[in-house]
């Protein structure tokens, strides 16, 4: 500890020395982008620029320095890792650590200093376009996964850039939307995962979000960045703006925003470039504000061994290695969620199948190249059909049918989502754009109108083409030993830049599934997607398997689960409502608007809302079946030192297969002094058990786990009283109950 603080003191001294030696120009160059993914360095003093890259599912392909055009390298394919929503469904912090580790290794291997991940925003509404990049609707689960993820990344001498700070809950009007959030909701729901990433994960950097909170843009928000992040949490790393998230020079300069990045190529005109320099020259802003930013950046650079005497020891990284692919497979296997399995329909017995019919476009769809900034150039991607074929070998007939029509979205080499967002700017050529802030919101609104008009147009095309596709699919389904439907969403729908307009399956999939279930009651219904969908036919289906975008090994993991080599152990990290109107934003309508939204539901989103309103979802938070059965018994609660409570119980695998169970512990305050959610997740563990074996599980509930945020005292308070402790296999499937009393 002592030597650590000595080292830190030395580092701080060196930082001061470097700052003293810098000219204003040099300092300014360090605090803004000088390329699309690089901020400036000071060559004279041996300080390199900071090179960043997206993103959460793998290191993004290389772009030209000032254009959103892929540089066309052939050495920038990478491991395509499971999305954060898939990762969260494993409920396994070790998988999060491993994934962070692989991402960090690959980022270093590709020469990056900062990887723009993980995305840990709370999923407020199932319609948010970027939900696939985020983990959960629950802060405890998100925090528990974010911390090891960040540690895994950073042990490679790469900074995790935890994003998007904070409450980046919708894509509609994302640059300007103003979110009205009360303080308690912010502290209890939207901030805890960021706090954990900073304090427990020791994140070196954090990304300021695009949106406003209570009238102030996050990248210019003193309350968020100075009072909370630096003041209350003690963050001393680097705050990087989301690309184009800074709007005003003075405000950004005078709060803890350290590096301004943007999607525009007029680097010298960034707010924290020439405009800031001029304001300092005019004496309106003190040079000390710039020194503070440079200090935070240099501190991160020392920690990354980019500068200083440890430079030679900086890790070199590697990418596309076999062990990275194995990690992707393990996580994919653990992430898939068996939502329904009547009469042991799954797993299928491969020896009984001579002819398998696979229907649906997600059986063959490649997802790695879409979604916005999370897109990557994957080394390969095994889709479900390929996984099934590889598993079964050539002697089983596998017949594939599209089933439904998906309109083509042409992808060209010089075209990507961020370039698209510049398309409309007048008098500019793609990627060399200059910001036209006055018209930005209007341009985005126009884009959105065009997008929606295009969707309407496509509906007629889909309907027409589906007529024949449906007939073919139904006919084929009648003549097979087994039928697997693989549908769901894709990144034309789950995407950065816009939200979903409803929660329905696109391309008339509901009608097709109904028609198929009429002729094949035993059809296995499976999905790949990034956010919940309505499943109006779910009572008719015998087996439903859900996979989020699960990375390069999706298809192999999928086949192993379908045929029982892997026993599913994924659990939902978010509620799947029966219909959109049932969820909080469906009821209050405060989602997806332009201008302002009010987070009226407060703490009551996700399962907290469903509990409070007594609405039964289609599949609840924490739900996920196994091919085996788990039995819970013998709960004991014991007060530990202070106000902590230790709980112990036994879980037994009562079936005939090896399996893993995610045991979940919720706290339900009895007669609370203030309004509190009926129950909240406060602990969980994943337990692997051989058939017939049992294990004693011990978990600790800390005093903090009983607390709520008191807005008047501005602190977390755990009131004395009785709390029900609920132990279960999901938030609804509670198997054991006990009472803990806080004195």
Q: Give me the active site residues, please.
A: 242
Toward ligand BGC, which CB reaches closer, 133 or 582? 133
333 touching ligand BGC, by CB under 6 A: no
Residues 6+ apart with CB under 8 A from 743: 643, 720
Residue carrying the six token digits 């050539």:
394
For the CB of residue 213, give the shortest distance to ligand BGC in the complex, in Å: 16
Toward ligand BGC, which CB reaches closer, 55 or 669? 55
86-125 binders of ligand BGC (CB under 6 A): 116
Q: Is residue 164 reached through a cis peptide bond, with omega within 30 degrees of 0 on the bond before it? A: yes
**Distance in angstroms (rounded) separating the CA atoms of residues 436 and 251:** 19
Toward ligand BGC, which CB reaches closer, 63 or 400? 63
Q: Of 177, 165, 312, 188, nearest to 238 (Cα)?
A: 165
For the CB of residue 116, give the shortest distance to ligand BGC in the complex, in Å: 4
163 touching ligand BGC, by CB under 6 A: yes
39 touching ligand BGC, by CB under 6 A: no
For the CB of residue 54, give the shortest distance to ligand BGC in the complex, in Å: 5
Q: Of 37, 66, 42, nearest to 52 (Cα)?
A: 37
* Number of residues lying near ligand BGC (CB under 6 A): 7
Which tokens is 401 given?
Answer: 């049918």
**Distance in angstroms (rounded) separating the CA atoms of residues 232 and 469:** 59
For the CB of residue 144, give the shortest distance to ligand BGC in the complex, in Å: 22
**Distance in angstroms (rounded) separating the CA atoms of residues 431 and 428:** 8
Q: Of 218, 201, 204, nearest to 257 (Cα)?
A: 218
Q: Of 502, 526, 508, nearest to 465 (Cα)?
A: 508
Residue carrying the six token digits 């960090």:
104
Question: Residues 372-401 vs ligand BGC: string with x where CB under 6 A?
Answer: -x----------------------------
Q: Of 124, 193, 66, nearest to 605 (Cα)?
A: 124
**Distance in angstroms (rounded) separating the CA atoms of residues 64 and 50:** 16
242 touching ligand BGC, by CB under 6 A: yes
Cβ-contact 725, 647 below 8 angstroms: yes
54 touching ligand BGC, by CB under 6 A: yes
217 touching ligand BGC, by CB under 6 A: no
Toward ligand BGC, which CB reaches closer, 117 or 740? 117
Toward ligand BGC, which CB reaches closer, 135 or 667? 135
State CA 462 to chain mean position distance: 30
Question: Residues 337-376 vs ligand BGC: string with x where CB under 6 A?
Answer: ------------------------------------x---
Identified binder of ligand BGC from the candidate list 243, 267, 580, 632, rule CB under 6 A: 243
Toward ligand BGC, which CB reaches closer, 243 or 267? 243
Cβ-contact 534, 580 below 8 angstroms: yes
**Distance in angstroms (rounded) separating the CA atoms of residues 388 and 556:** 7
For the CB of residue 246, give the shortest distance to ligand BGC in the complex, in Å: 13
**Distance in angstroms (rounded) separating the CA atoms of residues 656 and 25:** 69
Toward ligand BGC, which CB reaches closer, 54 or 458? 54
271 touching ligand BGC, by CB under 6 A: no
Cβ-contact 421, 431 below 8 angstroms: no
Sites of contact with ligand BGC (CB under 6 A)? 54-55, 116, 163, 242-243, 373
């Amino acid at each position: 500890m002592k030597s650590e603080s000595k080292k830190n003191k030395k580092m701080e001294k060196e930082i001061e020395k470097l700052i003293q030696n810098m000219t204003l120009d040099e300092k300014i160059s360090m605090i803004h982008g000088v390329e699309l993914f690089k901020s400036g360095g000071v060559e004279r003093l041996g300080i390199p620029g900071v090179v960043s890259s997206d993103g959460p599912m793998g290191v993004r392909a290389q772009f030209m320095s000032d254009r959103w055009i892929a540089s066309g390298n052939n050495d920038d394919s990478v491991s395509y890792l499971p999305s954060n929503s898939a990762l969260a469904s494993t409920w396994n912090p070790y998988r999060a650590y491993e994934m962070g580790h692989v991402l960090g290794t690959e980022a270093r291997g590709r020469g990056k200093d900062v990887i723009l991940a993980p995305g840990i925003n709370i999923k407020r509404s199932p319609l948010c376009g970027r939900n696939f990049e985020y983990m959960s609707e629950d802060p405890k689960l998100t925090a528990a996964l974010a911390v090891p993820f960040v540690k895994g990344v950073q042990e490679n001498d790469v900074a995790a850039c935890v994003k998007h700070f904070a409450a980046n809950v919708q894509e509609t009007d994302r640059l300007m939307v103003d979110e009205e959030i009360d303080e308690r909701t912010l502290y209890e729901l939207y901030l805890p995962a960021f706090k954990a990433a900073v304090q427990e994960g020791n994140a070196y950097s954090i990304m300021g979000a695009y949106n406003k909170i209570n009238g102030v843009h996050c990248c210019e928000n003193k309350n968020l960045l100075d009072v909370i992040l630096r003041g209350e949490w003690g963050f001393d790393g680097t705050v990087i703006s989301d690309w184009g998230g800074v709007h005003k020079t003075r405000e950004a300069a005078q709060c803890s925003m350290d590096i301004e990045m943007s999607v525009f190529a007029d680097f010298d005109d960034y707010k924290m470039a020439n405009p800031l320099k001029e304001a300092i020259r005019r004496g309106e802003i003190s040079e000390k504000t710039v020194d503070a930013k440079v200090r935070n950046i240099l501190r991160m650079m020392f920690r990354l061994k980019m500068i200083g005497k440890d430079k030679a020891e900086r890790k070199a990284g590697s990418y596309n290695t076999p062990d990275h692919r194995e990690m992707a497979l393990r996580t994919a296997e653990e992430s898939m969620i068996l939502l329904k399995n009547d009469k042991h329909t799954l797993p299928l017995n491969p020896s009984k199948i001579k002819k398998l019919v696979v229907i649906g476009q997600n059986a063959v769809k490649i997802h790695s190249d879409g979604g916005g900034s999370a897109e990557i150039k994957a080394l390969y991607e095994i889709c479900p059909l390929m996984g099934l074929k590889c598993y079964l070998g050539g002697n089983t007939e596998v017949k594939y049918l599209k089933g439904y029509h998906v309109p083509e979205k042409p992808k060209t080499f010089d075209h990507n989502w961020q370039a698209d967002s510049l398309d409309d700017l007048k008098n500019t050529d793609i990627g060399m754009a200059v910001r036209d802030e006055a018209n930005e919101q209007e341009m985005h609104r126009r884009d959105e109108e065009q997008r929606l008009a295009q969707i309407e147009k496509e509906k007629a095309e889909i309907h027409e083409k589906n007529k024949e596709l449906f007939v073919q699919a139904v006919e084929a389904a009648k003549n097979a030993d087994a039928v697997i439907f693989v549908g769901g969403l894709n990144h034309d729908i789950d995407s950065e830049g816009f939200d979903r307009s409803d929660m329905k399956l696109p391309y008339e999939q509901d009608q097709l599934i109904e028609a198929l279930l009429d002729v094949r009651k035993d059809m296995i219904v499976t999905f790949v997607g990034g956010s919940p969908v309505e499943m109006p036919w779910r009572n008719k289906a015998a087996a439903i398997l859900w996979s989020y975008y699960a990375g390069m090994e999706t298809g192999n993991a999928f086949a192993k689960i379908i045929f029982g080599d892997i026993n599913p152990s994924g659990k939902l990290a978010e509620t799947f409502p029966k219909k959109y109107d049932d969820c909080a934003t469906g009821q209050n309508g405060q989602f997806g608007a332009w201008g302002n939204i009010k987070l009226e539901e407060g703490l009551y989103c996700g399962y907290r809302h469903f509990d409070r309103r007594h609405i039964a979802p289609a599949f609840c938070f924490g739900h996920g079946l196994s091919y085996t059965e788990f039995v819970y018994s013998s709960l004991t609660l014991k007060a530990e030192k202070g106000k902590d409570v230790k709980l112990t119980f036994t879980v037994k695998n009562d079936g005939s297969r090896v399996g893993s169970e995610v045991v979940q512990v919720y706290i339900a305050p009895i007669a609370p002094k203030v309004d509190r959610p009926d129950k909240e997740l406060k602990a969980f563990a994943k337990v692997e058990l051989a058939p017939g074996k049992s294990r004693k599980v011990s978990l600790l509930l800390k005093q903090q786990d009983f607390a709520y945020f008191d807005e008047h005292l501005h602190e977390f308070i755990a009131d004395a009283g009785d709390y029900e402790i609920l132990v279960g296999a999901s938030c609804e499937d509670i198997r054991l109950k006990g009472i803990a009393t806080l004195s």
